[in-house]
Amino acid sequence: MITADVREGTYVKQPYGLICFQGQEIEMLKLLAQHGPIAVAVDATTWHNYIGGIIQFHCSSNINHAVQIVGYDLTGDVPYYIIRNSWGADFGDHGFIYIKYGENLCGLTVEVSHLNVTDYQ
């Protein structure tokens, strides 16, 4: 159990979890739906060339960057994750990038973490 002193008199217990969802992306979607945005490590090597659309190919899994998955859309022809990057609003679609769901593109299911703040004292 991890306990962190957030401010005087306030403590948070078990604030985060680190999970590997490789081959289990549906479980990752459940976590996202139940707990909100999740942090993931990705291979962003080719992202500097991103000009829009859904990344569907040519993205390896040599982890070198962290981003936040904030949503997903499974209704279209190409289901995808909605990802907030830290490179500012000039990157991608106003700071967001879209990656195809279901193929662990860019290694996004290998290192997943989330906050689960459950107990205040």
Question: What CATH number has the domain bearing residue 85?
Answer: 3.90.70.10
| Residue 63 CB burial class (10 angstroms; 0-12, 13-18, ≥19) | middle
Q: What's the pLDDT score for residue 79?
A: 97
Record the pTM.
0.80
Mean pLDDT, the chain cut into blocks of 10 residues (121 residues total): 40 54 83 88 93 92 94 96 95 96 91 69 53
Q: Could you write out the three-class secondary structure of 41-91?
A: EECCCCHHHCCCCEECCCCCCCCCEEEEEEEEECCCCCCEEEEECCCCCCC
Output the pLDDT for position 102.
92
Is 2 part of a structural domain of the chain?
no
Does any domain span residue 102?
yes
Range of the domain at 90: 17-115
86 occurs within a structural domain: yes
Look at residue 5 and tell me if it is in a domain.
no
Whether 69 is covered by a domain: the verdict is: yes
